[in-house]
Structure 1
Amino acid sequence: MMHQLKNTTLIQQLATTSQFNHQFSTNLATKADLVLISAGDQVVTQGKAADTLWYLARGRTKLTTTLANGKIALIDFFTTPCFIGEMEFIDHQPTYTFTVTALSDCWCFRLPVAPYRQRLLQDSHFLQQLCQYFVHKNYRNIQTATRNQSFPLVQRLAAFILLTAHNDQYTEKNTQVAEYLGVSYRHLLYVFSQLVKDGSLTRTHPGYHIINHQYLRSLAYDVQHS
């Protein structure tokens, strides 16, 4: 669910700690709503009107796309702070190109596009911030591709579980994860079974419950710090 928050102190605090105020030449925090999006709910939906520029101030999200054959592909993950819907804003797309789903409870600033489009497109500081964000996103994608070639699956899967789990519960779909990590479905299930056998995870429905955080963190350390 999505709830608009009216707590002025919280709004000011998140606008400062997430650096939302620093993204623009003028203070647009007073023009944006702060909303809380529950884990599992969608921030933006592919094909829906791209009428809002979002800014993730707290929480974790994942990016997916629905292909022409109905298959859902896992593409990327976003953590704070970051924009959501910035590509559609810059390219003036009428609808969102991808779906962004909250992995945890997310606090987002919501700025309507129509009243501020021209103002933002003339804001050199905002455009510079977006350019830096695009560069960092591209660099992160390169890192992800490099990790898929450089680290064993058990290490990459441990990092993936820690990133996507909510309240110690992991529920991602194996077919999507196998494609994202660049491995076979069978290989992925084998590594999951090994993590269950060594006591790191226990099988639940759906997904897995984390039992041994310390061991998963030790496996994931090199991946997370590469």
Structure 2
Amino acid sequence: MTYVTLNINIREDNSMQKQKLPAQYAPALAEYALDWLDLSAAMLLRFERCEWMMHAEQEIPYLYILLSGKAKVCMSDESGRNLLLCYYISEGIMGDVELMMCRKEAISSVQAVTPVVCIALPLQVYASAILAHLPFVLRVAKGLSVKLHTSVSSTTAIILRPFEARLSEYLLLSAQNGVFSERLIDVAEQLGVSYRHLLRSLKAFGEEGLLKKHSDGYHIINETKLREKAAG
């Protein structure tokens, strides 16, 4: 097998909080068979809610290992519209697909839904070493198989599940302390419907007693019924 050194120009997000990786976070790398690494170049990154962590077709400076938080993954079509693919919840690797493909640019865009904390391994420093470490590669392969299954399930759901069920699930996943306040134009785009269709559905949910609109967003009034609708 030939291992390729990735030459990547690291670009920083000005709003991202970055610090040297504190020692107490190092044990988290053992799950990915990376506890042997020299972590002198490793970072701890913090992203705020709604902050973009990766942009499709832009270079990826790090391999990200999520420690906490929730982020949504979107794929853009040829017109530039985003479609919601799946959710990562407090765990997993981001950038693993691109790493295994020796690809510099992100395939998809990733946005923090809640504050996100992750370990960041600069690819310029670590890519060649971790690609040559078989236990890590096997761990990534296992993770990619799970992602493939999730992606297939998500695609099937988009095709077969009623929009109201998908919207209900999205509301439950995205709400913070029972309040859904995402930008509706973006939500419609990511769920693959028109803005008017989304507004009609939210209005219907309100009439059913599931939601109530306030100045800070839509408050979930009946979570139990919303979960029942999501399951349908």
> TM-score scaled to structure 2, two decimals?
0.77
CA contact (8 A) 1:5 1:35 kept: yes
Aligned to 1:21: 30
Counterparts of 1:181 and 1:212 in 2: how far apart (Å)? Answer: 22
Cα offset, 1:215, TM superposition: 2.6
Deviations 1:71-109 (A, max 9, x none): 334333222311111222222223323221100011101
Asked if residue 41 in structure 1 is aligned to residue 45 in structure 2, the reply is no
CA contact (8 A) 2:67 2:118 kept: yes
Counterparts of 2:211 and 2:202 in 1: how far apart (Å)? Answer: 8
Counterparts of 1:178 and 1:158 in 2: how far apart (Å)? Answer: 13
Asked if residue 2 in structure 1 is aligned to residue 11 in structure 2, the reply is no
> TM-score scaled to structure 1, two decimals?
0.79
Cα offset, 1:162, TM superposition: 0.8
3-state SS, counterpart of residue 199 of structure 1: coil
Specify the code of the residue in structure 2 equivalent to 1:118. Answer: S
Cα offset, 1:133, TM superposition: 1.2
Return 5+ residue gaps in structure 1 as ranges: none
> Given the superposition, is the C-alpha separation of residues 25 and 59 from structure 1 closer, same or farther in structure 2, using an over 3 Å criterion?
closer
Kindly report which structure 2 residues correspond to 1:32-111, keeping only aligned pairs within 5 A, or say none: 32-111=42-121
Q: Tell me how many residue pairs correspond in the alignment.
A: 217
Specify the code of the residue in structure 2 equivalent to 1:27. Answer: W
Deviating beyond 6 angstroms after TM superposition, the runs of 4 or more aligned structure 1 residues are none
Deviations 1:113-166 (A, max 9, x none): 112222111111111111111111111122223334554433332111111223
Cα offset, 1:26, TM superposition: 3.9
Deviates more, 1:191-200 or 1:51-60: 191-200
Counterparts of 2:197 and 2:43 in 1: how far apart (Å)? Answer: 45
Counterparts of 2:82 and 2:156 in 1: how far apart (Å)? Answer: 23
> Given the superposition, is the C-alpha separation of residues 152 and 124 from structure 1 closer, same or farther in structure 2, using an over 3 Å criterion?
same
> Given the superposition, is the C-alpha separation of residues 177 and 205 from structure 1 closer, same or farther in structure 2, using an over 3 Å criterion?
same
3-state SS, counterpart of residue 226 of structure 2: helix
CA contact (8 A) 2:83 2:192 kept: no
